[in-house]
Amino acid sequence: MMIDLTNVISTADKKLEVTVEPEMECFTSAMGCFPISNKKPFMLCLTNDDNKRLLISGDTTLDVTIPCDRCLEDVVIPMEISIDRIVNLSEGMILMDPDEEEDTFLKEHQLDVDRLIYDEILVHWPTKVLCRDDCKGICPVCGQNLNQRDCGCDRQVLDPRMAKFQDVFKEFKEV
Ligand SMILES: [Zn+2]
Ligand SMILES: [Zn+2]
C-alpha cells in the first residue's frame, strides 16, 4: 500500500492519520519465502514537525510462518511491529539521506507501507526457530520427524567420531 505524502510534507505541523492494511502475503528474502498471516489494519500516524521533519509511527502485530531449525515443521512466530521513522524535510520536500540505499520505503512522495513492515520483520527475525524447546529434529538416515515417532534407524554410525568413541568403549569393556 502506498500513501501519498505530498500534502503532509508541504503543510507545517499537519498531522495525518491513515488506516493501512498490510498487503504482503509473504516475507521474501535470500532465505526463501515465508507466509505472513493474521494481519490487521492499523493506524499509521504521519506528522509534519515544523516543516523540518516527518514523523512516521504506527504499531501492529502479525504472524510469520518459519520452519523449525531442527525438524522443518512450520512454526507460527507472532511479531510486534513498531514503526518509528523520521524523515528530514526541506522546503516541502523530502530530504533524502545520500547514504540511504536505493530500495527504500520512500518513492518520490509516496510512502511504501509494506516496505516499512518488511524492514520491521527483518529487524525482528528470530535467530533461532524451534517448534518446541526439546524438538528432536529429523532422522539423518530416513528423514523421519523424530517428534512424531522414532524410526529405529541406527543413527550413531553416521558420525565417524561417534563410532570411534564406541569402539574405544567396546575395547575398554572387553579388557
Ligand atoms: Zn521442530
Ligand atoms: Zn530414520
Q: What is the pLDDT of residues 61-92, one digit of tens each?
A: 999 999 999 999 999 999 999 999 999 998 88
Nearest ligand to residue 150 Cα: 2
Band of pLDDT at residue 93, cut at 50, 70 and 90: confident
- Kindly give the distance from the C-alpha atom of residue 156 to the centroid of ligand 2, in angstroms, as a whole number: 11
Closest ligand relative to 68 C-alpha: 1
User: Is 87 strand, coil or helix?
Assistant: strand
Q: Mean pLDDT throughout 92-108?
A: 76
Q: Quick check: 106 and 67 in contact, CB under 8 A?
A: no
The arithmetic mean of pLDDT across residues 8-25, rounded, is 94
Give residue 118 CA to ligand 1 midpoint distance, Å.
25
Neighbouring CB atoms inside 10 A of 27's CB total 21
Least confident of 62-66, 100-104, 159-163: 159-163
How high is the pLDDT of residue 47? 97
Q: Is-above-0.85 flag for pTM?
A: no
List C-alpha distances in Å: 23 to 26, 27, 115, 120, 135.
Answer: 9, 11, 10, 15, 33
Average pLDDT, the chain: 88
Residue 18 DSSP SS3: strand
Ligand nearest to the CA of 156: 2
On whether the CB atoms of residues 53 and 15 are closer than 8 A, the answer is no
Query: 39: closest CA among 93, 118, 102?
Result: 118
User: Rounded to the nearest whole angstrom, what is the distance from the C-alpha of residue 159 to the centroid of ligand 2?
Assistant: 14
Predicted confidence at residue 4, as pLDDT, reads: 94
Place of cell 510486534: 80
pLDDT value at residue 165:
55
Ligand nearest to the CA of 71: 1
Confidence of residue 31 (pLDDT cuts 50, 70, 90): confident
| pLDDT at residue 175 tops 50 | no
